[in-house]
Copies of this chain bind each other. A is one copy, B any other.
Amino acid sequence: MRRQAPKNAFYAQSGGVTAVINASACGLIETARKYPKRIAKVYAGRHGIIGALTEDMIDTSKESAAAIRALRHTPGGAFGSARYKLAGLDQNRTQYERLIEVFRAHDIGYFFYNGGNDSMDTAHKVSEIGAQLGYPITCIGVPKTVDNDLAVTDCCPGFGSAAKYIAVSTREAALDVLSMARTSTKVFVLEVMGRHAGWLAAAGGLAGEKSGDAPHIILFPEIVFDKAKFLAKVKRSVEGSGYCVVVVSEGVRDADGKFLAEAGTKDAFGHSQLGGVGPIVAQMTQEAFGYKFHWAVADYLQRAGRHLASKVDVEQAYAVGQAAVQLALRGKNAVMPVIVRKSSKPYRWTIGEAPLAAVANKEKQVPRSFITADGFGITAACRRYLLPLINGEDYPPYVRGMPAYATLKGAPVVKRLATQFPL
């Protein structure tokens, strides 16, 4: 009888959060609640995997259906996330053993890990060590990252909304600059995320539709920064169109492979330059041509901007959460649901699956064929790929002018272990 009883599930959010990671949590929890004979309760790690290591878990069964539903439109990580990479199995086996100890103590039979490529590696290792320690556990990855750099999946939940934010913001700021350019600002620079992959920078390209439209220049981490070529293009743009809008990835590097953002500028006290790459490239244009410039750094605004989410992205984020449960219930292990593109025009997609081993620790950059020959723009192929991902709006509800985001009780699961675990 005991053996037949449904197991609990553990869910954790990992790494940088997004506007829709909670939509995945929503899809996962709502789906799990439909199968009470298979999954008893979903426990969420408080601050991700740290919550498992320290036995600090949130009992999501204490949350109302309305609160779980509201996760669908709430940005950030509602249970807390963590930048905490487990070491390799050889380096710190005790971490993995501790996870299994906690899972065993709480009768957890499913481990759902919502994160990027590092997290898929962790989930993969947990599935291996569970088997080794005689505590088999079903490990399913749930993809998430604004960077869109996960392997196998056509796109990553979280990216579409950040991409939409950047594309719309670029279009809006460009209208502003164009208004002002005659007597004031001629160069506007928007700095976006993406340290190793330029997908978010590429999304800025969607702001323009025809030749001469902003953005006039995109700086990708995939393309070595060439200052002379960049400045020449800025000049052509200002002289031709009256202004120049630049979208720059934080990950842009020079020929030595060094991030431009760390290009050796120091403040008066000898500290490294505080600013990012946005102000640096903006300043270059003033030094070269005297152009008045403005710059913005979107930072967390771009990945938390749930008010401007892509409907497709929200649906996909929900779908991978839902599919994670379905895969687990079908007896799959060490897999991750992926987005499969069936066609671009019209856009059709479905959910597939990939072994965690095929996703773990890989990184997908923007292919050269998506970047124009001069290295400063996106091609038609890139546009075809990106456009469907920002399609549709999915507005949160507002109360008195402000979005009404979910607030959870966050009731803790009663601890069963006497031992502490030092992080």
Contact = CB atoms under 8 A, between A and B. Distances in A.
Interface string A8-34: 000001001101000000000000000
A278 B298 CA distance: 12
Number of this chain's copies in the assembly equals: 2
Interface in A262-288: 264-269, 271, 273-275, 278-280, 282-283, 287
Given A274-B280, A283-B271, A391-B400, A183 B84 contact: yes
Interface in A167-220: 167-169, 171-173, 175-180, 182-184, 188, 190, 206-207
A178 B299 contact: no
Interface string A74-112: 111110111110000000000000000000000000000
A387 to B, nearest CB: 6
Q: How many A residues are at the interface, by size bracket?
A: 35 or more
A36 interface: no
Interface stretch (A226-234, A302-310, A363-371): A302-310
Contact of A179 (B13, B180, B392): B13
A264 B179 CA distance: 32
Contact of A168 (B267, B298, B402): B402
Given A183-B47, A268-B264, A172 B84 contact: no
Specify which of A75, A275, A308 lies most central, judged by the most chain B CB atoms within 10 Å of its CB. A275
7 A-B pairs with least C-beta separation = A76-B175, A77-B179, A296-B299, A275-B275, A274-B279, A265-B267, A172-B304
15 contacts: A19-B172, A47-B182, A50-B183, A75-B172, A76-B172, A76-B179, A77-B180, A80-B179, A172-B403, A206-B401, A265-B269, A266-B268, A273-B274, A275-B279, A307-B308
Interface of A: 13, 16-17, 19, 47, 50, 74-78, 80-84, 164, 167-169, 171-173, 175-180, 182-184, 188, 190, 206-207, 264-269, 271, 273-275, 278-280, 282-283, 287, 294-301, 303-308, 310, 387, 390-393, 395, 398, 400-403, 405
